[in-house]
């Protein structure tokens, strides 16, 4: 091979090496971004789990309250009937 061909090949290799460094840099940025997204997703899932637990607790407490209120009306109605009702 002649010297100009070797210089051309050397330049091509250097250009490819520079491109490879740039590609690695971009890939590193994408990997970091992906890691941040995964971290955010885990945090959101944790928040959603906490919200679901809180909502279930609230629903249970509301159900208890409604049963107490409903039971009070039933007791009042039965007491009214025992006292004579409409008569």
Q: Please name the residue ranges forming H helices in 1-87.
A: 3-82
85 conformational bin, left if phi > 0, alpha if psi -120 to 50, beta if neither: left
Asked whether the whole model's pTM tops 0.85, one would answer no
State both tokens at 13. Answer: 């290799």
DSSP 20: H
- CA-to-CA dists, residue 24 to 20, 21, 29, 33, angstroms: 6, 5, 9, 14
SS3 (DSSP) at 46: helix
Q: pLDDT digit string (tens) for 3-62? A: 888 899 999 999 999 999 999 999 999 999 999 999 999 999 999 999 999 999 999 999
State both tokens at 7. Answer: 């210089």
């Amino acid at each position: 091979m002649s010297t100009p061909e070797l210089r051309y090949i050397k330049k091509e290799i250097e250009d490819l090496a520079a491109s490879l460094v740039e590609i690695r840099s971009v890939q590193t940025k994408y990997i970091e971004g992906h890691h941040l997204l995964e971290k955010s997703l885990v945090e959101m899932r944790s928040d959603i789990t906490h919200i679901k637990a809180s909502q279930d607790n609230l629903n249970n407490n509301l159900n208890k309250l409604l049963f107490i209120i409903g039971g009070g009306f039933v007791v009042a109605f039965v007491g009214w009937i025992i006292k004579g009702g409409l008569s």
